[in-house]
Amino acid sequence: MKKLIVAGLLLIGATGFAQTFQLGIKAGVNISNFTGGEFENLDKKALVGFHGGGFVSFFFGEHLALQPEVLFSSQGAKIKEAGDEKNWKISYINVPVLLKYRFTGGFFLEAGPQIGFKVSEDIEDMPIEDFAKSTDLSIAGGLGWHSSSGLGIGARYTAGISKVGDFDAGDIDPDFKNGVIQISLFYTLFNNKK
């Protein structure tokens, strides 16, 4: 009996709390490259990857929300040298914390800081044990549309503010940064016509 009462109270509490937040999942495409740094005799091109994870939006009034996220993100660059093309991939767990402003009709703008934690790296034909630093700092900004049914689409750019490279190589300056365009589909619970 006590378990039923506790479960009922938790359900009532969760329903009340759900008036002020939304849980969501998202996934999409990354288009990434390295910005800055010196890559002698190497040509950098965009690399297509993916991202996916979850988020929660905490609402402050009708239009303003704080949205922390946890996303797995595959990014990096294509490196071309003498006609040979290689993929330099770095995978992160990214944690953006965005301030989000929603307009009437579902359109929104978002911006905020992001910290990334390196999970793995796959750097083809580079004899470097630790290519990328273990953390990555960025600033993110984006826009999108969110329907009252919970389905939405967004586009975001994250500009690195900390250097990626953690090595000493003669022909590459490790002082380059991540630049990532993300296009996402997402879905939220507890929408309440927010």
Backbone angles phi, psi at 176, to 5 degrees: -115, 165
Decide: helix, strand or coil at residue 92: strand
Q: Is residue 9 part of a domain?
A: no
Q: How many domains does the chain fold into?
A: 1
What is the model's pLDDT at position 14? 45
Q: Is residue 91 part of a domain?
A: yes
What CATH number does residue 110 fall under?
A: 2.40.160.20
Q: Quick check: 73 pLDDT over 70? A: yes
Decide: helix, strand or coil at residue 15: helix
Beta strand 135-146 pairing with 47-60: unpaired
Q: Is residue 81 part of a domain?
A: yes
Rounded-to-5 percentages of helix, strand, coil across the chain: 10, 65, 25
What is the model's pLDDT at position 190? 76
Q: Quick check: 13 pLDDT over 60? A: no
Give the structural domain span for 169: 21-188
Q: Is residue 167 part of a domain?
A: yes
Amino acid (one-letter) located at 103: F
* Chain segment 110-163, per-residue pLDDT in tens: 999 999 999 998 887 666 667 788 899 999 999 999 998 999 999 999 999 988
* Chain segment 38-57, per-residue pLDDT in tens: 666 678 889 999 999 999 99
Q: Is residue 15 part of a domain?
A: no
Q: Is residue 13 part of a domain?
A: no
Token pair, residue 103, equals 């307009």
Rounded to whole angstroms, the Cα distance separating 73 from 41 reads 28
Q: Is residue 120 part of a domain?
A: yes
Rounded to whole angstroms, the Cα distance separating 100 from 143 reads 9
Q: Is residue 74 part of a domain?
A: yes
Rounded to whole angstroms, the Cα distance separating 120 from 90 reads 6
What is the model's pLDDT at position 173? 62
Beta strand 47-60 pairing with 64-81: antiparallel
